[in-house]
Amino acid sequence: MGSRREILAGVGAGMVLAGISGRSVAAPSRRIGYAIVGLGSYATRQIMPNFAGCDHARLVALVSGTPAKLEQYGAQYGIPPTHRYSYADFDGIRDNPDIDAVYIVLPNSLHAEYSIRAARAGKHVMCEKPMAVSVAECSAMIAACQQAGKKLMIGYRSRFEPYNRLAIDLARSGHVGPTRLITAEHGFAIKPDQWRLDRPLSGGGSMMDIGIYSLNAARYLTGEEPVAVSAVESTDRSDPRFRTVEDRISFMLRFPSGIIANCISSYSSNHNGYRVIGTQGWIDMEPATPYAGQAMSIRKDGVTAPRTLPTTGKNQFAGQLDHLAECIIDGTTPIVAGEEGMADLRVIEAIYRSATERREIRIGA
């Protein structure tokens, strides 16, 4: 996602795997064509290279406010000039039949606008997380895609990563006994002078970025929606990075079954892991959600041992890209549809409210 200056200038101009759901997918006459919207580092270093590992998806178009990026990546990926768009002519994707879906990789505050415009242009939507900056925006995105008859999927890549998929299966099946407690910690020391530290673009600080991994993990490991949250914020406002956004938030989620999740979100300390603690042991992921290199260990019956999975098959990025393509092909709903993104935003709003009001907040009450 480019620099803050590039983003503001450009926008101002225009203002899993085939078996992941237990089904087989018939080969389409052509692979589903994606347009990538926003050519920052995540798009160019993680998403775009992984189209090479896809069976059902291909990169066909680029959208950026930076002409040099369109030229560079257009040449690198063989995207013709007719399939390179600025933000000013974004709506012209409507007339390009090669584009079936768009992948929105813009700052958080722009997710709703460009997702809605994409749907109105007749395209399916993949949107990076967090889905938007409010539940209201999430609802508008869902409504726009429903009205257009298009799929809406949120970029929860860990749901297509083999170790996380195994952790879900083990936790929900009671492999180490019924889950009683989850700890989930995600954080890193953020560098200054980037859009994530500008609240109008990001919608918040660490909670809207790295903290969503802790929150989403707690939800997918339990398979439940939290009923209450208690949160505490700790931010050094003398640090110029945190003039408008928060640094650390610790939050505790209570689930209907009695499971408690203790979670951390941080922009000043390094964490990437979770542990599912049951009555007979625990399932540990450290690191849990990086781009690569996940590691699992399990303690059961008094014995601790690593769990290693084969490295064959698609990685999480190709799996994610193919999953939306498969859903488009066979008319099914993504496992991380818009409602999943909205569920996270509903909890995030409660977390912020709890930290501000210094009390437990009931969710959905």
User: In 3-state terms, what secondary structure has residue 104?
Assistant: strand
What is the rounded (10 degree) CA torsion for 166, 170, 171, 177? Answer: -160
Q: Is-catalytic flag, 213?
A: yes
CA distance 99 to 120: 13
CA distance 271 to 172: 24
CA distance 284 to 215: 16
Name the active-site residue from 213, 220, 267, 352: 213
The secondary structure of residue 175, as a DSSP letter, is B
Rg (C-alpha) for the chain, rounded Å, is 20
How far the first Cα of the chain sits from its last, in Å, is 37
The shares of helix, strand and coil residues in the chain, as percent rounded to the nearest 5, are: 40, 25, 35
Q: What would the two tokens of residue 227 be?
A: 């009923």
User: In 3-state terms, what secondary structure has residue 167?
Assistant: helix
Could you tell me which residues are beta bridge partners of residue 355?
Answer: none
| 41-44 contacts, C-beta under 8 A, 24 or more apart | 41/1, 42/1, 42/105, 42/128, 43/1, 43/103, 43/105, 44/69, 44/73
Name the active-site residue from 123, 129, 150, 151: 129
Active site residues: 129, 213
